[in-house]
Structure 1
Amino acid sequence: MEIGVFAKTFSGPFEAVCGQVKTSGINRIQFNYACVGLPSLPQVIESSVLNSVQQKLDDYALTVEAVSGTFNMIHPDPAQREYGLTALETIAGSCHVLNTNLITLCTGSRNPDDMWKAHPENNLPDAWYDLRQTVDRALAIAERYNVFLGIEPETANVINTVGKAARLLKEVNSPYLKIVFDPANLFDREPDNVIRYRIQHGLALLGDSIMSAHAKDRSAGGKVVAAGKGLVPFPLYLEQLQGMGYTGGLIMHGLAPDEVAETQQYLRTVLSRITNTR
């Protein structure tokens, strides 16, 4: 497992971001077009921008684990879903320049103002129907550009359990649909035994489809914090990932720039202990 970081963790021009990533001893990022002054969901990407991004990645020898294509896939306004799908195609068409084949997505919420907030209608059949329609169209784009789409089970989204994620994988039955696994998105304020069960069950159920793993944490009050500062049992999580033979990236996010070094060292220490006890 190679530890990486969300590029958006750092600010400034993209070259400065690349420099900060490299200075932190990190070679792998999750990229977002906001890092180069574009919307996170660009409708158009000029070739000059792409060439500049590619040059900076080469200059700093950075690998792009994935690029964000996150939009609300069940937004109650169909026009918003169309906007997201148009951006997804634009992003998919740029992946070969970034030398990545994974686009991360959010399955979304019926909340019209915030896709990261739960809504009671997320669990209704029509929300699932809209998700399927959007996912099917997104997968047609993925197949056209030969890229993978990574969705996360998240308590605030329509895919709010690992069981629903497994159901979606089975229903679409597409090699282009994958999982981004983030243990901090599987709980809000549940007790430790529930948290541990959801992580273990989720990894066991979705393991073969996991293409990227995230490392952030959640406090007892439900706040997102840096890995190692909350309730996620990282030794359990990382040991199970290793035991599954997972070799993708471990991408830090939900942390401040000045927490990157400490968090990276924490994760390295946990991984080292797991390796030494095998």
Structure 2
Amino acid sequence: MEYSLEKKAAKKKTNLISKTISDLKQYKEFIFYNSKYELKVQVANTLLGYVWWLLDPLFHMLVYTIMVTFIFNGRMEGFAVFVFCALLPWKWYTSTIMNSANCVKAKLGILNQTYIPKFVLPLTQIIVNFTKFIFGLIILFPMIFIFDLKLSFHFFEIIIVIFVNALFLYGCSLLIAHYGVFFKDIKNVLTHVVRLWFYLSPGLYSLDQVPESVRFLWWLNPNTTLFESYRNVIMFESPPLYLPLAILGIISLGLIYLGLSKLNKYDKAYLKMS
């Protein structure tokens, strides 16, 4: 009996993965053009256009640097870069998560007329906001020059950090996209949760400033692994935190599978919510 249930579960898992891969191949052009359209719409709604994608993370970094350095008397060499290494992926986080909360619900009218795999909608948000993330990285190089930081070959390992970052973010986005259809206030709740999450992450302070007795709690926060890994490869000429990244990658794959399962299971139920 147990063998039969395990076999059934394995078959279900295989079917979900094969269906996802098949849909991904079939709708790859939709993903590309929808992402392109979203980017154009966002640029059209701003006066500075693409330039704003450079200025936005820069302004955030300046605000937090002034606040910590001059108001709270915080002192750290290259503190602006230290903050920027956390703010840049965090902007990718917040924009994607907040947009994913509405990405299925906002398109229910279209989804009632034509079939679109729901998982491609949060994937579009990942791609759109990753494009902004890449623009933000451009700011990083003059900052490294200004603060006389040295880049090593470890900098190229940022690709691994970004990949794990994207996996975790996609797993979260899939689940948020699902629950966003059923809970009207999810975006309001997420606004406060995301803000609290950032302050409980080592974005504006280093782990050394966290009391050693409770520091292990910070390692339960995925942002700790990501922020510290970004800083290692960008600022400290060191490799990223491979073991925590591997653990986070495995957790992320679990979240992605859970999110895909939810979206697949409730595919028809979403249409009744319009």
- Both structures adopt the same fold (TM-score exceeding 0.5): no
User: Greater share of helix residues, 1 or 2?
Assistant: 2
- Please report the TM-score for the alignment, with normalisation by the length of structure 1: 0.25
User: Greater share of strand residues, 1 or 2?
Assistant: 1
Larger Rg: 2
- Please report the TM-score for the alignment, with normalisation by the length of structure 2: 0.26
